[in-house]
């Protein structure tokens, strides 16, 4: 199921195929399923009770949007959530017809010395689909089409490799919880997180949760850092609990319960490096009169690139931490009164 999720196309604003897949997988488990006008998929399981808890995982991935077609058939594009240093010479799939292309740049033997010393800017890159004219390319591609990386999902022992781990891993975790637990929760599969945490805000307004947990993916970093600088999470050591990032200061009671639960259940976990990144919690906590919010994220190497690497053990531990943590939150109902 994780392989199927990761190989779907779903750049921010074009999450339809991911949404359809998820709906098909949760239809027989949910008491109610809503697709809101913005494209979020919200599922309710069990009878609503206090505290009302919402889990959110965003469906969208980073990618490209076609912005123009040149006279000789080359495609201009805008990157969505991707830095140009990971783009050159990568294979992509474009649009509903899944047209194959490759990201190109001026050949190295034609570049000037100063150009060879710099990472090409996105505006100087193009996608080549083999067309020889604007007219030929326009038969296959139109401005506004989305492109994703042509990456095959692979497994190697405990490791999985593929695209869109941010945040199809989170979607996979929510699927597992919907299918295999009886917890009375609202599950929100949100849109457009990568372009401003947009869908989660709308979903939270509809659900009006007392507590919201963003289930996401976070960058790992297995490289040396300066002394006394907080480390990034690393793969293989469990999910990461966020204290604060650039979008939210998490609720201290929730963070405490998650840590307490992980220790009691002997679930490996890490703390995310503070003040780095952002998640759907960044907008959910601001809804209405305020929503107690926290984040549980699975570490993965090289997110926001053509291929990421994650640990199956970390994903399994994240599922356990979310489930056990929520049950503990429900037990402590007096804290949220």
The residues annotated as belonging to the active site are 193
Closest CA to 21 of 148, 174, 162: 174
Write out the E strands in the chain.
32-35, 41-45, 53-58, 63-69, 75-80, 91-94, 99-104, 126-128, 146-149, 154-156, 159-162, 185-190, 211-219, 240-241, 270-271, 292-301, 308-311
Dig out the tokens for 296 from the structure: 């549980």
Is the alpha carbon torsion for 287, 198, 205, 185 positive or negative? negative
**CB under 8 Å to 109, separation ≥6 — which residues?**
none
Write the burial class of residue 317 (CB in 10 Å: 0-12 exposed, 13-18 middle, 19+ buried): buried
Kindly report the backbone phi and psi dihedral angles of residue 301, in degrees, each rounded to the nearest multiple of 5, phi listed first. -80, 140
């Amino acid at each position: 199921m994780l392989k199927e999720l990761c190989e779907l196309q779903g750049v921010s604003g074009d999450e339809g195929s991911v949404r359809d897949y998820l709906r098909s997988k949760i239809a027989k488990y949910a008491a109610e399923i809503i697709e809101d006008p913005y494209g979020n998929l919200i599922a309710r399981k069990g009878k609503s009770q206090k505290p009302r808890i919402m889990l959110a995982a965003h469906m969208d991935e980073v990618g490209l949007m076609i912005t123009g077609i040149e006279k000789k058939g080359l495609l201009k594009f805008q990157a969505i959530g991707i830095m140009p240093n990971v783009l050159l010479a990568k294979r992509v799939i474009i649009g509903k017809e899944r047209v194959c292309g490759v990201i190109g740049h001026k050949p190295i033997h034609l570049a000037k010395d100063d150009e060879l010393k710099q990472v090409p800017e996105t505006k100087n890159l193009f996608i080549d689909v083999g067309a020889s004219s604007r007219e030929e390319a326009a038969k296959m591609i139109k401005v506004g089409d989305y492109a994703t990386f042509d990456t095959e999902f692979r497994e190697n022992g405990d490791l999985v490799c593929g695209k869109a781990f941010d945040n199809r891993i989170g979607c996979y975790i929510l699927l597992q919880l919907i299918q295999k637990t009886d917890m009375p929760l609202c599950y929100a599969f949100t849109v457009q997180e990568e372009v401003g945490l947009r869908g989660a805000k709308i979903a939270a307004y509809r659900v009006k949760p007392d507590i919201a947990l963003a289930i996401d993916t976070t960058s790992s970093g297995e490289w040396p850092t300066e002394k006394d600088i907080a480390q990034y999470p690393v793969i293989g050591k469990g999910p990461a609990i966020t204290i604060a990032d650039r979008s939210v200061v998490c609720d201290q009671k929730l963070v405490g319960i998650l840590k307490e639960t992980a220790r009691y259940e002997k679930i490996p976990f890490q703390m995310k490096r503070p003040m780095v990144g952002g998640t759907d919690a960044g907008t959910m906590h601001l809804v209405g009169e305020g929503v107690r919010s926290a984040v549980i994220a699975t570490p993965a190497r090289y997110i926001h690139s053509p291929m990421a690497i994650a640990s199956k053990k970390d994903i399994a531990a994240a599922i356990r931490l979310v489930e056990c943590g929520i049950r503990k939150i429900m037990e402590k109902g007096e804290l949220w009164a």
